[in-house]
Amino acid sequence: MLREPRFTLYGHPQPLRRFVIVPSARSIGPQPATNGSQFAEAYADEDIVLQTARSLAHELGLFSVTPAAGSVLRLLAAAGSAKAVVEIGTGTGVSGVWLLRGMRADGVLTTIDVENEHQRIARRIFAEAGFAPSRTRIITGRALDVLPRLADGAYDLVFVDADPTEFGACADEALRLLRPGGALVINGVLAGGRIADPSARDVETLTIRETVRSVRESEEWIPAVISSGGGLLTAVKR
C-alpha cells in the first residue's frame, strides 16, 4: 500500500500526491522500453517522496538527477559502504535521498547549496524519506568557499551537481577530500550531447571537456563515464 505521509509546504499541511506532476517511472514500467536508457530509467523506479522532490524541483526550474542516475548514486554509496558523503548542489533533495538510501545507516550526507530556499525544501524531503536530522549536514554557501573548510581524506564519496564551470575546481577539491578508494561522481558531463560535438565551444562545454580529459589522464583517478541521465563522470581515487 502506498504510504501517504503529510508534507508541509510554507506551513500548510499537504498530501504529497498533490505535487506529483512528473510521470513516475513506475507508470512507464510495464510498457515496452524502446531503448536502453528508457529501460534503465523505468527500472530505477521512484517512490512518492522522490517524485515529490522531483516535482518541487521542476516547479523551481531545477534539474534533478534522473532515476537511473540516482540509482547509480545509491549503488556507489552502497558499494563503498559510504559513511561520509559530500554533495555539491542539494537542490530539493532528489540526489540526496538516493545517496542516503545507499549509505550506511549511521552515515552523514554533507550537502552544499548556495540557495537556502532549495535546502529548506530538501530538509523536509529528507525528513519525509525517514532520515533523522543527524543524517544530514546542510551547509548554505558557494561550493568553492565551503569545500576548503572540509577535512582531508575524510569522505567516501563526493557528488558534484552544481555549476559546470566549477567542475574542474570541484574535482581538485574532491581529490583532497576523498580517502583512497573513495569515489567522485560529476553529473551532467554529456552536456546535452555537446561534449562530443567539436563545434560546441561555449564555456560550460569547454570546462566539462577539460575536466573529463584531465580526470582520464590523471594517475590519481580510475575513471569511467556512465551515460545514465545527463552523464556521470565517475572516478575512484587510487
**Rule CB under 6 A: which residues touch ligand SAM?**
57, 62-65, 88-95, 112-115, 118, 142-143, 161-163, 166
167/221 with CB nearer ligand SAM? 167
Please give the helix or strand (H or E) that residue 54 lies within, else none.
helix 48-60
CA 229: distance to chain centroid?
11
Per-residue burial over 210-220, b = 16 or more CB atoms within 10 Å of its CB, e = otherwise: ebbeebeeeee
Minimum CB–partner distance for residue 42 and ligand SAM (Å): 18
Per-residue burial over 96-134, b = 16 or more CB atoms within 10 Å of its CB, e = otherwise: bbbbbbbbbeebbbbbbbbeeebbebbbbbbbbbebeee
Q: Exposed, middle or buried by CB within 10 Å (0-12, 13-18, 19+), for 41? A: buried
C-alpha cell at 11: 506551513
Minimum CB–partner distance for residue 183 and ligand SAM (Å): 16
Minimum CB–partner distance for residue 219 and ligand SAM (Å): 28
115/180 with CB nearer ligand SAM? 115
Minimum CB–partner distance for residue 196 and ligand SAM (Å): 21
Is residue 116 a contact partner of residue 140, using CB atoms and an 8 Å limit? yes
Determine the residue with CB nearest ligand SAM: 91
Residues near 74 by beta carbon (within 8 Å), at least 6 away in sequence: 98, 99, 101, 102
Q: How far apart are CA 9 and CA 91, in angstroms?
A: 16
Minimum CB–partner distance for residue 61 and ligand SAM (Å): 10
139/178 with CB nearer ligand SAM? 139
Residue 45: count other Cβ atoms within 10 Å of its Cβ. 15
Minimum CB–partner distance for residue 197 and ligand SAM (Å): 22
Rounded to 10°, the helix 203-217/167-177 angle is 30
42/86 with CB nearer ligand SAM? 86
